[in-house]
Structure 1
Amino acid sequence: MYIHDEYYFWRIAQQLMMKHQFELLQANEQTHEIWFHKTIDKKTVVVRLFLQNFDWANHLKRDITSVLGRVKNIQSSLRKKEVIIHNLYISELEPVDDWEFLKKPMQLKDKKGLIIHTYYLDEQNRMEELNRFFTGINAESPEVILPEDEETTVNQIQEIKRQMMNNHRQQQKEIASLFNHGKPVLTYLLLVINVLVFFFLEMQPGGSQNTQNLIEWGAKFNPYMVEGEWWRILSSMFLHIGFAHIIMNMLALYYLGNTVERMYGSLKFFLIYFLAGIFGGLASFAFNDSVAAGASGAIFGLFGALLYFGFEHKKLFFQTMGTNLLFIIGLNIAMGLSVPGIDNGAHMGGLAGGFLAAALVQMPERRRTMIRIASFIVYVTVASGLLIYGAERTNASTNPQTAIIKASEYFENEKYEKVIEVLDPVIENGETSNEILYFNRANAHYLLNHLEQARKDFESAIQINPELANAHFNLALVYSDLEQYDKAREHAGKAASLKPNNQDFQNLKDRLGEFRNSLN
């Protein structure tokens, strides 16, 4: 009787969804077809229920073939290589010809990870096939007892449908609630602040790519941080170097910030963003001697927060963003390792800091106290280690860029001995390809009237870069003071030829020429 077949169909579906926690993939009540899936022993198990009579084996075989084709699409959507399909037919009668061979497991030749098991639950062998199916999914077979009359059967079918619908709606509601704990108010505020700061910085002489501007506005500069300016870890998060930098970071902040703030709520988003930014800043301080700026550490922290979401909701993570997110993170890491000038310390530190911060604040409606305590201990311990290690490296640093910036500061304050003190270790450490180091040290020696040392350094700078007009000009002054006028005229002429529009260079050349004529 058809109503009994329908009852079996819905009772099996109810057991899979309500008792064994299979998730609904798709359902068609008109054609009486339902698809479920679940991960069992790290394999994706797909169950298809189909209420249909088949008169002939070839009709059944044709349907099984169509199932295999449809599962290819399901396999792609689930992003799983290995999928086991259990294909259940609920029917009153079995096909009239030989069909038993179709019950053997089938595997597609071009899809090694795709296996299909077929079960035919006709009226004669229904319980036997049902037991075989539940054994195949490592579950206890239910006892299906038919109601006493048709009216009761119809009512129970309707009740089962109602329960399944409510269960599915509740699941969807719970999933949707994970992404609706806040509105991206802080994300938009951070976008506005970053853009405004960038345009104010860009309006300064030299713009946002001028190192001195960056330092004055609060970029990460290790020597100043060691001297007590730790606020630079925060201020550097709002500075960007050039239009490409601000555009890339703000696009990432817009998309990631929207997602993370909706998932965690605004307060927890605020804590994740800044804790990740601080952690990334400390990692940059520890492993990168150069001047650095940007929101990249905090933005990578948002990646870390999404990874923590994956830790809490593995299945949903890989059904939604997981694979794409991991690809983007991997791509960014690869770019960081292959493209020069990228602050990998800030990126990796921000990623780790974001994960730890998310574990510390926890997702809404989660209370994992031990994870919270452990993440706090790890965050503080690692951050302290980065701080100590970074301070030791900075004090022993021979980074050319850092030395040049410090030397410029000492020049402004007329501390010429300090200039030499800063530059000596860098040059002695083997940095012989940067003409600015020699040029600056030569200027300090000249201002201290160390003429011979100044001469050597200016000549070293010119040897590295023969087109350095200022070095030729200053060397001409040194030779003039040393009363070596032929060499003074030679370098004055070179400076004037390199920069013909510089009046000081032309004046020195003319003056030395006149002096030569007067001697003759």
Structure 2
Amino acid sequence: MASYENHLFWKLAYFLVVEQDYQIVQAYENRQEILFENLSNKSAQIIRMIHSELDWGSRMRRDIEQVATAGENIRKQLGKRELTVINLYLSPYPPIDEYESYIKEPFYFSKGKRTKVTSVLFAHGQLDQAADFFGRLFAGGMDLAFLEEGSEEETAAYRRAAFAHSIKRSEEDKKVFHFSTPFFSYMFIAAQVVVFLLLELSGGSTDAANLIRFGAKFNPLILEGEWWRFLTPVFLHIGFLHLLMNTFALYFLGTAVERIFGRSRFLFIYLFSGFAGTLASFALNSSLSAGASGAIFGCFGALLYFGFIYPRLFFRTMGMNVIIVILINLVFGFSVPGIDNAGHIGGLIGGFLATGAVHFPAKKKSFMQLAFFFAAVLLSAGGLYVGFLG
């Protein structure tokens, strides 16, 4: 294959990764085909680049259809309503038969037409037009000097720099998920198990009077000034199944949040979420209630905040699973009588706001954190007003 196309291939890779903040999400063994991603660039969210000698237009057509299918799978994985894929071909010469129609108009995935593939051909006689179109996808465009030839040493340098930058970013992404080791998650699990045993030994975990004695949310007593009942219900559970479900949720969900945000932040997020869930229940539901569900929904809120700050990483890893589980729980809650939906939703919102107020370890966004803090305060004040005076 021509050395010029190889040089341009790695120069483009360097341009995308280092200058345009794209991430390499897949590189094939021969390293002559790479998939890039940058969801913040709506004009080119996914870029597929391949260095290949194109012989027939029909082969290009089949390849474009395959790219559209792969793009549709990525769209579903990311949970995007629409996805734009730029399909770059680098070839010494264009196909020898009809091919212009394949790059003149975008190709849409047949079902739903939500994935659009726009193909660009860098080949002899097509370079200036391709560079002009491709450059318009980015702020600042692309200077035609970009198309100049380079030495083998320069090509190797571009290749090394592109992969080094991408690997470094991948390592940074991994660190986000492992900032800390869980501690308080296990302490809360132990606490709720011990309290459950005490409940069972002193009258039963389903006995209303016993639950009230241990600190369950009971509106008349909160109205009389027993404010601690905004937090104590987090450690109480009504029946073994209730305890089992919340313990499993806390083991998997709580530890994940604590690893990402650190121990002290997790402690605040969990307790504030529990408070917010109990407060919402107090304001909107007069029934006796208890359980860690509000705090656990707050952990979901923390993960949603993670997605708000790191959408690419969120949807690449756990995003759709988190959203689906939240929706299933909410639908289940509204379908089955006796479930405290106000507490769940209050905890979810409280967790999102609490996480925004503390943000990520070793990172600061003072104005935004202050905004989230005041939102949490206003929400709490509103809940107290409705509960006590509404």
Kindly report which structure 2 residues correspond to 1:143-222, keeping only aligned pairs within 5 A, or say none: 143-144=145-146, 146=148, 153-205=151-203, 207-222=204-219
Alignment CA distance shift 1:311-1:83 (3 Å): closer
Equivalent in the alignment of 2:10: 10
- 1:424-454 Cα offsets, whole Å, 9 max, x none, are xxxxxxxxxxxxxxxxxxxxxxxxxxxxxxx
Kindly report which structure 2 residues correspond to 1:480-519, keeping only aligned pairs within 5 A, or say none: none
AA matched with 1:144: F
Q: CA deviation at 1:187?
A: 0.5
Equivalent in the alignment of 2:120: 119
Alignment CA distance shift 1:330-1:131 (3 Å): same
Counterpart Cα distance in 2 of 1:139 and 1:301: 42
AA matched with 2:11: R
The answer to whether the 8 A contact 1:35-1:46 is kept is yes
Equivalent in the alignment of 2:45: 45
Counterpart Cα distance in 2 of 1:196 and 1:373: 37
AA matched with 2:320: T
Alignment CA distance shift 1:136-1:237 (3 Å): closer
Q: CA deviation at 1:138?
A: 6.6
Equivalent in the alignment of 2:280: 283
The answer to whether the 8 A contact 1:43-1:82 is kept is no
Question: Which of 242, 245, 248 is 2:242 aligned to?
Answer: 245
The answer to whether the 8 A contact 2:33-2:50 is kept is yes
Kindly report which structure 2 residues correspond to 1:328-477, keeping only aligned pairs within 5 A, or say none: 328-392=325-389
What SS class does the counterpart of residue 237 from structure 2 fall into? coil
What SS class does the counterpart of residue 194 from structure 1 fall into? helix
What SS class does the counterpart of residue 55 from structure 2 fall into? coil
The answer to whether the 8 A contact 2:78-2:319 is kept is no
What SS class does the counterpart of residue 144 from structure 1 fall into? helix
Q: CA deviation at 1:155?
A: 1.1
Alignment CA distance shift 1:73-1:311 (3 Å): closer
Alignment CA distance shift 1:47-1:374 (3 Å): closer
Whether 1:315 and 2:319 are equivalent positions in the alignment is no
Moved more, 242-251 or 70-79: 70-79
Equivalent in the alignment of 1:236: 233
Alignment CA distance shift 1:286-1:116 (3 Å): closer
Counterpart Cα distance in 2 of 1:371 and 1:101: 48
Counterpart Cα distance in 2 of 1:388 and 1:98: 72
Alignment CA distance shift 1:238-1:42 (3 Å): same
Equivalent in the alignment of 1:432: none
The answer to whether the 8 A contact 1:43-1:83 is kept is no
Question: Which of 210, 222, 229 is 1:225 aligned to?
Answer: 222
Equivalent in the alignment of 1:107: 108
Counterpart Cα distance in 1 of 2:197 and 2:41: 55
What SS class does the counterpart of residue 340 from structure 1 fall into? coil
The answer to whether the 8 A contact 1:219-1:292 is kept is yes
Counterpart Cα distance in 1 of 2:272 and 2:208: 26
Alignment CA distance shift 1:210-1:44 (3 Å): farther
Q: CA deviation at 1:211?
A: 0.8
Moved more, 73-82 or 289-298: 73-82
Counterpart Cα distance in 1 of 2:373 and 2:109: 50
Counterpart Cα distance in 1 of 2:82 and 2:379: 39
Larger Rg computed on CA atoms: 1
Q: CA deviation at 1:328?
A: 2.2
Q: CA deviation at 1:156?
A: 1.1
The answer to whether the 8 A contact 1:107-1:116 is kept is yes
What SS class does the counterpart of residue 49 from structure 2 fall into? strand
**TM-score normalised per structure 1:** 0.69
Counterpart Cα distance in 1 of 2:289 and 2:232: 11
Tell me how large the CA RMSD over aligned residues is.
Answer: 2.4
Counterpart Cα distance in 1 of 2:197 and 2:368: 41
Equivalent in the alignment of 2:269: 272
What SS class does the counterpart of residue 35 from structure 1 fall into? strand
Alignment CA distance shift 1:227-1:264 (3 Å): same
The answer to whether the 8 A contact 2:55-2:96 is kept is yes
The answer to whether the 8 A contact 2:230-2:279 is kept is yes
**TM-score normalised per structure 2:** 0.91
Q: Which has the higher contact order (CA 8 A, sep 6+)?
A: 2
Equivalent in the alignment of 1:68: 68
Counterpart Cα distance in 2 of 1:257 and 1:147: 54
Alignment CA distance shift 1:251-1:33 (3 Å): same
Q: How many pairs were matched up?
A: 388
What SS class does the counterpart of residue 180 from structure 1 fall into? coil
The answer to whether the 8 A contact 2:269-2:298 is kept is yes
Unaligned runs of 5+ in 1: 394-520
Counterpart Cα distance in 1 of 2:353 and 2:60: 54
Alignment CA distance shift 1:319-1:43 (3 Å): farther
Q: CA deviation at 1:81?
A: 4.0
Counterpart Cα distance in 2 of 1:160 and 1:251: 48
Alignment CA distance shift 1:376-1:111 (3 Å): closer
Alignment CA distance shift 1:284-1:119 (3 Å): closer
Counterpart Cα distance in 2 of 1:332 and 1:378: 25
Unaligned runs of 5+ in 2: none
AA matched with 1:292: S
AA matched with 1:277: G
Counterpart Cα distance in 1 of 2:331 and 2:43: 30
- 1:159-202 Cα offsets, whole Å, 9 max, x none, are 11111111111211221121112111111111111112112211
